[in-house]
A = this chain, B = another copy of it.
Amino acid sequence: MEIKMAEAGDVALRKYGTAMPQEALRLADAADVIFKGPIGESAYDVTSLIRMRYTLYANIRPVKNLPGVPAVREIDCVFVRENVEDVYVGAEYKVGDVAIALKVITEKGTRRVARMARKYAEMRRRRVTIVHKANVLRVVDGFFRDIALEELKGLEVDQMYVDAAAMELVRNPKRFDVVLTMNQYGDILTDLAAQVAGGIGLAPSGNIGDAKAMFEPVHGAAFDIAGKGVANPIATILSAAMMFEWMGRGDVAEKIRGAVEKSIEAGVKTPDIGGDKSTIEVGKFIASIL
């Protein structure tokens, strides 16, 4: 495995005047898989660009309690978030004193992400909840729902409005197994679900396409704590586990996950989950017991 480093994000923006420099783009184009850290305010120019450019159409966000981490509720589900459509297409206009953005959903885009949800459901309990708001967005969300229902035939499928889903993620998250939803609803619900599980510092994700993938923690750059050594490295480390899994090395993924659990058991934890260790200390400890 060959590893190349690329600079991107707010720091690159300050240094080179662009958040996604040509060199980063070249390296990303050439890579089989991309592993990405938090970006900052320029996230759309980097994160969304990567998702769109390589059609990483499914954002896989597993949410599960970690033993020893205080949680709001028990939760064990996988979000399959459509990742390249919806209001994220960047079709926005200002006309006089009106601003308009297009929410765009395609049949093709919905089929492929629904098939990804199917794949995960088949590896789990064959249960999918489709989250939408088709009682208001009858055409667009209704379209997403109808195509998803077609692709998920034969599984146990239910539906929930996005507002009700946000509520249920706090009230009774155990009712969710695989959750299929649109891009922006997924953005909101996965942050929420991560918090319910014990905190955004633990939440990994994988942006999956047919040919390439990008892995990253769900959390952002958190400049308010940058450099203080208190950021939890686990979200990033578990994203690496997902990456290994995607590369066919489930054995490595399992090892990483085991080491993460052991670090928490041993009390080697950052403050967000009740410890007093630094980012580096936790990272080194996990690496040392791999």
Contacts and interface: CB of A to CB of B under 8 A. Distances in A.
Interface of A: 41, 43-44, 48, 72, 87-88, 92-94, 97-108, 133, 135-140, 143-144, 162-164, 166-167, 169-171, 184-185, 187-192, 194-196, 199-200, 220
Most buried by B among A97, A99, A144, A171: A99
A196 B184 contact: no
Given A136-B87, A167-B191, A192-B167, A100 B104 contact: yes
Nearest to A272: B171
Question: Nearest 8 CB-CB pairs, A to B?
Answer: A92-B139, A97-B107, A99-B143, A163-B191, A166-B192, A101-B140, A101-B103, A99-B140
Given A100-B104, A101-B103, A88 B170 contact: no
Most buried by B among A137, A139, A164, A167: A167
Nearest to A94: B139
Given A98-B107, A101-B140, A143-B99, A188 B170 contact: no
Number of copies: 2
Nearest to A196: B170
A100 B41 CA distance: 27
Contact of A195 (B41, B87, B170): B170
Contacts of A190: 163
Nearest to A107: B97
A184 B133 contact: yes
A140 B41 contact: no
